[in-house]
Amino acid sequence: MKENGKLEKSIEQLDDRYLLEALEYKKARPSWKTWAALAACICLLLGGGWLAWKMVSADAGNEEMADVKTPKVQKESVQAETTMYVDAHELLAGNEGELSIEVKKQTEEKKTEEPIDETDVTGQEVTITWAYQGIGGEDVSYATVREINRKLKEDGYHFSVRFKQIRLPEGNYMDDETYQEYLFQSDADIAFSGFHSKGDHSVQDAILAGKYEPLDKYLAETTYYAWLPEDLWKSTTYQGQIYFFPNELAQDGGPALYLRKSSFTQEEAESFDGDLFSLEKYFEEGKIFLDASADYDFAETFGYSDYQSVLFTSDGNALNPLEEERCVQWLRLLNEYKAQVTKKVAHNWDFSLSLSFPGTGIGEGNRPEDFYVYQWKGYVIPRLNCQTGILASSKNKREAFQFLRLIRSDASYAKLLLYGKEYLDGTGESRLSFANQLIFGLDTGLTSGQREDGLRHFSSANEKKAYYKEWILASPALSLQNPEVCDEMNVVRDYREQLIYAEDFDEMLKEAKSKTRDPMQKILKELKYWDE
Amino acid sequence: MEDREIVDLFFQRSEDAIAQLTTKYGSLMQRVAYHLLQNPEDAKECVNDACLGTWNAIPPARPAVLSAYVCRITKNLALNRLRRKGAKKRDAALEQSLQELEEIEGALPSAKTVEEAWSERQLTETIERFLDGLDQKNRVMFVKRYWFAQSVESIAKELAMRENSVAVRLSRLREKLREYLEKEGVWL
């Protein structure tokens, strides 16, 4: 006996709060969480680098990257006139009308910039299109594109490049899945895989659907694989194949404690032995700034690798952070002092636990040299989002690979894309931004000489590998089949954050444990190692 | 006007209550009705009926969430209207969403006795726990589809997503719900 329609009737009786939530839910907009995540990435980008600078500067000698041969791209001097791609078309989506795929052409500054004309074109036999997710603010100037293409021609390459920004009008942030849909409709060769800051598994789905080209066979033909630590390659490996050039941001540093020199003595700084709980005495004095990223990265200070909101022990065991005593204790402590915890980058904090240096770019008195630093080791974890790969639909895969390798191994090209031609010429502002670094996934080792940018720099591939060997560990999660438990992960992660700000910590912890029980079981069930 | 003040007007039997209700929630009620009826005239009539229904229900009822309350009344009236018209006239989106739920039901074990079968209330509580475990976007999508009976196209527009993405997500949600209900030992 089965009574039909029971599920429907039961759903009809759902509590009002679900209906209200559905009624009040607004369409995808750049939420504070999205921007917080992006801001965290910016901090990672800007701050992480400084740490390495501090650590490696003593022995960052003059060893050039000569220990790994500079890849030589076969030069073909076939030149053909093509126009630089400047086009835009609009598509309807959503009830507000226009979504547009825009080639960069509509920014304010374009009005003052000389347009590309036929004489500027260095496009050749092949034109590679590099598509990325626009978030507003990032840009590659025409002058820069023109210069990159001029260099390509001068250096004898048989291809030119154009950049295609996929975004909503007015610079609005585009939903990750929508970006991906548009990306796969486009004619792009090189593609940014998308932010996917909420951790969905769209990139895995796209790989399974054959949208991305495996890079293994191209890498096998070059020496480029040897430029990067092997664990980084593992971070972009899915089902046994490498799909992306790994982005080092957020992979190349663990959390760090920053103590303002004017508020702490050297003795105080040196007496810190890595025990987070010994910081409580400073909480009393109201001297805390908690960076957004530290909400869920503090577990690394306890020696865990945090992946998918699961704590991995060095021997590969997995734990629920809300069942781990020290994690809960730390959250409780932060909650107790939540009035002194802030996510706003400001001048008036005296110490910070953060994945990155939180003071970059906010003025006098917040320079890296104003702080003592204690650093923990970091972990490389699997990451398919925020990466750069080649679309399987590309007709220019080999050229796309050549260009990606070039841009990541030749400093003159990398600097152009990272800072912009105008900055390098001394005629304009640096275009260094989150987007230029994260979206283009450049190797920051190539950009030394611009150290004011706060990026992590290495003067050789070996130096980079030595740094990774000492400071960056391989997460056991690298050996996992990528689990598709993103929704569950978000439930756990949200509670970890809410616990810090809860009015009643114990009540919230009780709720969190109850509500995360099933998601955690699902996550743990899905975590399987490749060799199992 | 605040919901509480509108409810007070109903309690005072002020005719202004209907006017204020319509001003604040008329378009919402219209949307709920239209999703089910797919006919603007029918939807308009349904909203008028729902206003009258609300007038008759308050007092004695004092709804905590007025918007959800009027949505329920509107939905029930729209469903009654559909029943009167006959199943063949039912909207494709509603049909589709009901069929999707029936597929889940079909995959769940049958109770051998009435006592063994779960009550609707038990089932509702279990579904609510399931929804609590989802992230907000998925939860909203689920409710829009299976409570408001919205079409995939309409949900995609409201959430600024591609239709295909919504369809894929809903499919995953159904699978998750089925797994969850199975794990909880639901018998129908």
- From B21, B139, B79, select the one nearest A15 (Cα to Cα): B139
pLDDT in tens, A86-144: 222 222 222 222 223 332 233 333 334 443 333 333 334 577 888 887 665 456 777 88
- Among chain A residues, the shortest Cα distance to B187 is held by A2
Which pLDDT belongs to residue B107?
A: 76
CATH assignment of the domain containing B96: 1.10.10
Q: What is the mean pLDDT of chain A?
A: 70
CATH assignment of the domain containing B49: 1.10.1740.10
- Among chain A residues, the shortest Cα distance to B166 is held by A177
Inspect the interface and report whether the beta carbons of B124 and A17 lie closer than 8 Å: no
Q: How far is A513 from chain B (nearest CA, A)?
A: 12
Confirm if A516 and A493 have CB atoms less than 8 A apart.
Answer: no
Do B96 and B179 belong to one domain? Answer: yes
Residue B64 CB partners (closer than 8 Å, separation 6+): A16
Inspect the interface and report whether the beta carbons of B67 and A19 lie closer than 8 Å: yes
B133 interaction partners in chain A (CB closer than 8 Å):
487-488, 491, 515, 518-519
B113 interaction partners in chain A (CB closer than 8 Å):
1
Q: What is the DSSP string of B71-133?
A: HHHHHHHHHHHHHHH-GGGS-HHHHHHHHHHHHHHHHSPPPSSTTTSPPHHHHHHHHHHHHHT
What is the interface size between A and B, counted as CB pairs within 8 Å? 144
B28 interaction partners in chain A (CB closer than 8 Å):
23
Residue A20 vs residue A325, higher pLDDT: A325
A20 — contact with chain B (CB < 8 Å)?
yes
Number of domains in chain B: 2
Taking the model in full, what pTM does it have? 0.58
In this complex, which of B135, B146, B156 lies closest to A491 when CB atoms are compared?
A: B135
Do B73 and B101 belong to one domain? Answer: no
At A288, is the pLDDT very low, low, confident or very high (cuts 50, 70, 90)? low
Do B125 and B113 belong to one domain? Answer: yes
Q: How far is B13 from chain A (nearest CA, A)?
A: 25
Do B53 and B73 belong to one domain? Answer: yes
pLDDT-above-70 percentage for chain A:
62
Whether A65 has a pLDDT exceeding 50, the answer reads no
Do B100 and B179 belong to one domain? Answer: yes
CA dist A409 and A414 (Å) reads 8
Do B154 and B114 belong to one domain? Answer: yes
A392 — contact with chain B (CB < 8 Å)?
no
Domains of chain A: 70-250+384-459 (3.40.190.10), 255-376+480-532 (3.40.190)
At A460, is the pLDDT very low, low, confident or very high (cuts 50, 70, 90)? confident
- Among chain B residues, the shortest Cα distance to A512 is held by B133
Q: How far is B79 from chain A (nearest CA, A)?
A: 12
Which pLDDT belongs to residue A191?
A: 94
Residue A431 CB partners (closer than 8 Å, separation 6+): A139, A140, A141, A144, A418, A419, A420, A422, A423
A526 interaction partners in chain B (CB closer than 8 Å):
none
B168 interaction partners in chain A (CB closer than 8 Å):
205
Inspect the interface and report whether the beta carbons of B147 and A18 lie closer than 8 Å: yes
Which pLDDT belongs to residue A393?
A: 95
B164 interaction partners in chain A (CB closer than 8 Å):
181
Site from B36, B165, B171, B173 to mutate, A interface, most A CB atoms within 10 angstroms: B165
Confirm if A32 and A185 have CB atoms less than 8 A apart.
Answer: no
User: Which of B88, B123, B148 delimits the end of a domain?
Assistant: B88
Cα torsion angle, A57, A58, A63, A67, sign = negative
Site from A3, A11, A493 to mutate, B interface, most B CB atoms within 10 angstroms: A11
pLDDT in tens, A208-238: 899 999 999 999 888 888 888 888 899 999 8
Q: How far is A466 from chain B (nearest CA, A)?
A: 41
pLDDT in tens, A22-52: 887 754 433 333 433 444 433 333 333 333 3
Inspect the interface and report whether the beta carbons of B135 and A2 lie closer than 8 Å: no
Do B54 and B65 belong to one domain? Answer: yes
Regions of chain B short of the pLDDT cut 70: 86-93, 111-117
User: Which of B27, B54, B88 delimits the end of a domain?
Assistant: B88
Tell me which residue range forms the domain holding B61.
3-88
A322 — contact with chain B (CB < 8 Å)?
no
Inspect the interface and report whether the beta carbons of A178 and B188 lie closer than 8 Å: no
Confirm if A49 and A447 have CB atoms less than 8 A apart.
Answer: no
Confirm if A216 and A241 have CB atoms less than 8 A apart.
Answer: yes
The ipTM (two decimal places) reads 0.84
Inspect the interface and report whether the beta carbons of A25 and B136 lie closer than 8 Å: yes
- Among chain B residues, the shortest Cα distance to A22 is held by B140
Which pLDDT belongs to residue B92?
A: 67
Residue A394 CB partners (closer than 8 Å, separation 6+): A188, A189, A190, A213, A400
B148 interaction partners in chain A (CB closer than 8 Å):
22
Do B103 and B150 belong to one domain? Answer: yes
A21 — contact with chain B (CB < 8 Å)?
yes
Do B42 and B108 belong to one domain? Answer: no
* DSSP for residue A504: S
Which pLDDT belongs to residue A189?
A: 94
In order of A75, A139, A308, B136, the CA distances from B29 in angstroms are 67, 45, 40, 23
User: Which of B57, B88, B119 delimits the end of a domain?
Assistant: B88
Average pLDDT over residues A485-497: 76
pLDDT in tens, A443-454: 655 654 443 444
A369 — contact with chain B (CB < 8 Å)?
no
pLDDT in tens, A390-430: 999 999 999 999 999 888 888 788 888 877 888 788 877 66
CA dist A457 and A418 (Å) reads 13
The length of chain A is 532
In this complex, which of B133, B137, B156 lies closest to A515 when CB atoms are compared?
A: B133
Site from B143, B146, B157 to mutate, A interface, most A CB atoms within 10 angstroms: B143
Residue A137 vs residue A4, higher pLDDT: A4
CA dist A522 and B183 (Å) reads 11
Which pLDDT belongs to residue A390?
A: 97
List the 151-210 stretch of A: residues with Cβ below 8 A of B.
Answer: 175, 177-178, 181, 198, 205
In a domain, residue B188? The reply is no
Residue A397 vs residue A168, higher pLDDT: A397
Vertex A515 angle, CA A514 and A521, to 5°: 90
pLDDT in tens, A512-529: 999 888 888 887 777 766
Cis bond leading into B59, ω under 30°?
A: yes
Inspect the interface and report whether the beta carbons of A8 and B180 lie closer than 8 Å: no
Query: Which helix (H) or strand (E) element contains residue B34?
Result: helix B16-37
Average pLDDT over residues A176-203: 81
The length of chain B is 188
Do B74 and B141 belong to one domain? Answer: no
At A72, is the pLDDT very low, low, confident or very high (cuts 50, 70, 90)? very low
Strands across the sheet containing A318-319? A305-307, A310-312, A318-319
Inspect the interface and report whether the beta carbons of A23 and B67 lie closer than 8 Å: yes
Q: How far is A9 from chain B (nearest CA, A)?
A: 7
B101 interaction partners in chain A (CB closer than 8 Å):
7-8, 11
Tokens representing residue A264 in the block: 């702490």
In a domain, residue B142? The reply is yes
Do B104 and B150 belong to one domain? Answer: yes
Inspect the interface and report whether the beta carbons of A11 and B133 lie closer than 8 Å: no
CA dist A406 and A398 (Å) reads 12
Do B81 and B25 belong to one domain? Answer: yes
A94 interaction partners in chain B (CB closer than 8 Å):
156-157, 160
- From A154, A210, A161, A201, select the one nearest A177 (Cα to Cα): A201
CA dist A483 and B51 (Å) reads 49
